[in-house]
Homo-oligomer: A and B are copies of this chain.
């Protein structure tokens, strides 16, 4: 689901956070030491990093700065007893996304973690994509419209998925062909129109959201 790294030397706090997060099905890793934590973090495969400021061997601010210098984009939440305005600002200047002072509410922490994940998780692989009344399941190649299963052929499915993933963007026939049929496809680009027609027939008879962009191609409107 999501990977979280906790760099914190107080064992009691470590355990408390770890427990809460595991309850929520996150994958949690621990580090009690600054250097060790930094080495783990720089791999950039954590979605969220909880970072204490006062640590053995390397302090939290430096860790944060160095990570940002390496383009690590994990969502970093600083956790510290330092509640001075000055310290807080230093924390943000070092590149933190959020800052919590101890003692803190565990629930608030998890709420802040979730908020951070919401922001970073754009490239998270979805198992289910919702759009209007539709549910698309890429792994099983199924589509439901108002909870009723709709049978689509493979090309129809791929086309729908691609359009929904790129909702709000007008996609040219050529773009669709190279992305869905492969760059070497050299047939008639109007094959796209035929599939669009089929999709509309099955899912959007009135073209309320699967729109034609005349002269360009097609797009799915962003919901409001």
Contact = CB atoms under 8 A, between A and B. Distances in A.
Contacts of A70: 223-224
B123 A108 contact: no
Interface stretch (A2-10, A20-28, A55-63, A113-121): A113-121
A98 B85 contact: no
A215 interface: yes
Interface in A141-165: 141, 153-154
A108 B78 CA distance: 14
B168 A140 contact: yes
Contacts of A13: none
A93 B118 CA distance: 11
A115 B139 contact: no
A122 B125 CA distance: 12
Interface in A52-98: 69-71, 73, 75, 85, 88-89, 91-93, 95-98
13 contacts: A69-B223, A85-B105, A89-B108, A92-B115, A97-B115, A97-B118, A97-B119, A122-B123, A139-B169, A153-B214, A153-B215, A154-B214, A154-B215
A76 to B, nearest CB: 9
Interface of A: 69-71, 73, 75, 85, 88-89, 91-93, 95-98, 105, 107-108, 111-112, 114-115, 118-120, 122-123, 126, 139-141, 153-154, 168-170, 213-216, 219, 222-224
Contacts of A98: 98, 112, 115
Nearest to A106: B85
A93 B119 contact: no
Contacts of A95: 118
A216 B122 contact: no
B170 A139 contact: yes
Contacts of A97: 115, 118-119
